[in-house]
Structure 1
Amino acid sequence: MTLEARLVVERTAFTLDIEVKVAPGEVVALLGPNGAGKTTALRALAGLIALTGGRILLDGAPVQTLPPDQRPIGMVFQDYLLFPHLSALDNVAFGPRCQGASRAESRRVAAELLERVGLADRAAARPRQLSGGQAQRVALARALAVRPRLLLLDEPLAALDAHTRLEIRSRLRRHLADFDGATVLVTHDPLEAMVLADRLIVIEDGAVVQQGTPAEVARRPRTGYVARLVGLNLHRGVADGARVMVGALPFSTSERLEGPVFVAFPPAAVALYRSRPDGSPRNLWEGRIEGIERHGDNVRVHLQGPVAAFADITPAALAELDLAPGQRVWASVKATETHAYPA
């Protein structure tokens, strides 16, 4: 591992206690709700917040006692924090100069990195003359100029508009693929994490609640927060073969398990009815509409009842069913679209 860290930061009303391991060339994204501890973890790795306990090893060497400027770390801040009085070239050259490189060598390294990020023609521009996407790439080049073993990215695309973010996300992924050190990314955007990261670490209330590849986390969420991120309904239950009791409601699933399990199903799999449907469809319950909102091209209905759930239906179905908040409806999910896995 390039990075092996246990980060313990104690505050009056909050304690962060997590382990972060990142292999050479790997990109790990820290995900979590506001206040979970993501930024605290990033700042602790950078040396901007002191550890209460734990340690930080980079290539096997402890760095937790070193000041920030002596750690082999490059950081891209959310607002980039470029020096406004320096050109793009001199912003990138600043780090090598601080490390003792000559002015000529520093500018040579900076010129190579600006070319690598596609900004050789903007070397003389000041930050105020750069677009948001260009400033982000200059900040990345500046972080890489110190030849870090650990690259820290704090919401690197948050300051960009939606159109620019799409383009820069693709570019950033290619640049990170060429970096042979460890990269830790903090983001609130699940799509950003899924596209940029090789592995996700989900933090809630200062602790790791789930980690794995983006596909693993998306397929088997383990908390309500993660389920919402990946667009699934999630409940705990107790399995007996293909039957799972979620509270007092029996669910049929496509897997056969025993004991405590999670049950997950997509909102698009939830069918709604104004009256109890004919026959005996499996996974059927009555609930009350808590709210209705636009969700992409569809409508998302929030249900409360023995099983709380989101249901995604078309605007035409909403009109046909004449649904409104406060109404009672019947909901069902096919067993083939209801998946269970060990809790």
Structure 2
Amino acid sequence: MDVRAGTPVDGLDAHLVVERGAFRLDVALSVAPGEVVALLGPNGAGKTTALRALAGLTPLTGGRLRLDGSALDGTPPESRPVGVVFQDYLLFPHLTALDNVAFGPRCQGASKAEARAQAAEWLARLGLAAHAGARPRRLSGGQAQRVALARALATRPRLLLLDEPLAALDARTRLEVRAQLRRHLAEFEAVAVLVTHDPLDAMVLADRLVVVEHGRVVQEGEPSDIARHPRTDYIAQLVGLNLYRGEADGHSVRLDAGPPITTTEVLTGPVFVAFPPSAVTLYRDRPTGASARNLWHCEVAGLETHGDQIRADLTGELPLAADLTTVAAAELDLHPGARVWATVKATQTHAYPV
């Protein structure tokens, strides 16, 4: 069943309204069992507030919260079928990995032996059987993350919440654990909601993205669709695109602010136009033989290393970002204040309706 076509009987059906001073969160979420949804957005967007509201740690001031057809609005956090993996994992430092995982089943009424047996099973599933007797301080970051996940899953939750689950890991460990977490989430049969500001975590781990800015949903859809069709500057920056809005008339788009852009698409009416920084070619003198249909006079506002390339921040006729090699940047003698000509071929732009 496509949850976006209607409200699912099973799964999550939520309209989260939380007012805190001048900030208002107003986010609707429908998630089917077996689906992983990522709440993605900048700091202060309301992602963590939404997660805390789902967990029952922050009360709703309006809306609704239903899980598998049952209202959770008035249910205390400890009575909800919800598992949470916090950003800092929050493992009990005085307990072994086994007893950390057994804590949930014990709270649900299982005997000590039953809880430990369940915990051992979960640790084995996550490849941690050999670390059952270790306390958190003896675990690596990746191992601690998996213990926290096992502890959340051991209660057999109908809703799994993950708050920046990879943020505490170094880059190398993050790569490995991200792949492991994706595999475990794919096997999870209930609802999973992930909160992150990292686009790669969201793209890899989630089936669907819900982008939140200023407490509201600004775009949602499959990761590939959002990457191809960003609808705000924040999303465009996340996926590494120059993004503009304007009025299309055939192959030409007249921007709301700036010169027209020539595209290959034939459209009419309000559109977005996007192209990657790698599509931009820079010249110190106005090019005479270039085949690109788009040509703008710009000024270098700043330069920074971006992976193995140099990213130039340009202002002038059209503000944009351009990527080039360090050799090309040196040959062009680029520096803040340098005047350049920027070209982009129409075939490297992408226009789509607003």
Matched letter for residue 191 of structure 1: L
Q: Partner of 1:31 in structure 2?
A: 40
Cα distance change on mapping 1:299 and 1:121 into 2, 3 Å: same
Matched, 1:291 2:269: no
Q: CA deviation at 1:164?
A: 0.7
Q: Partner of 2:285 in structure 1?
A: 275
Map 1:182-331 → 2, pairs under 5 A: 182-246=191-255, 247-279=257-289, 281-331=292-342
TM-score (norm 1): 0.98
Q: CA deviation at 1:319?
A: 1.0
Separation (CA, whole Å) in 2 of partners of 1:209 and 1:199: 14
Q: CA deviation at 1:328?
A: 1.5
Q: CA deviation at 1:139?
A: 0.3
Question: Partner of 1:83: helix, strand, or coil?
Answer: coil
Question: Partner of 1:307: helix, strand, or coil?
Answer: coil
* Deviating 4+ runs (over 3 angstroms): none
Query: Contact 2:40–2:196 at 8 Å: present in 1 too?
Result: yes
Unaligned runs of 5+ in 1: none
Separation (CA, whole Å) in 2 of partners of 1:120 and 1:259: 60
Separation (CA, whole Å) in 2 of partners of 1:305 and 1:148: 54
Q: CA deviation at 1:279?
A: 4.6
Question: Partner of 1:121: helix, strand, or coil?
Answer: helix
Q: CA deviation at 1:306?
A: 2.5
Separation (CA, whole Å) in 2 of partners of 1:283 and 1:318: 21
Separation (CA, whole Å) in 2 of partners of 1:170 and 1:248: 42
The Cα offsets for residues 129-160 of structure 1, whole Å up to 9 and x where unpaired, read as: 11111111000000001110000000111111
Separation (CA, whole Å) in 2 of partners of 1:117 and 1:248: 53
Q: CA deviation at 1:325?
A: 0.5
Aligned length: 343
Separation (CA, whole Å) in 2 of partners of 1:248 and 1:173: 42
TM-score (norm 2): 0.95
Q: CA deviation at 1:248?
A: 4.6
Separation (CA, whole Å) in 2 of partners of 1:41 and 1:248: 37
Map 1:44-63 → 2, pairs under 5 A: 44-63=53-72
Unaligned runs of 5+ in 2: 1-7
The one of 10, 17, 21 aligned to 1:8 = 17
The Cα offsets for residues 48-72 of structure 1, whole Å up to 9 and x where unpaired, read as: 0010101111011110110100110
Matched, 1:89 2:125: no
Query: Contact 2:258–2:318 at 8 Å: present in 1 too?
Result: no
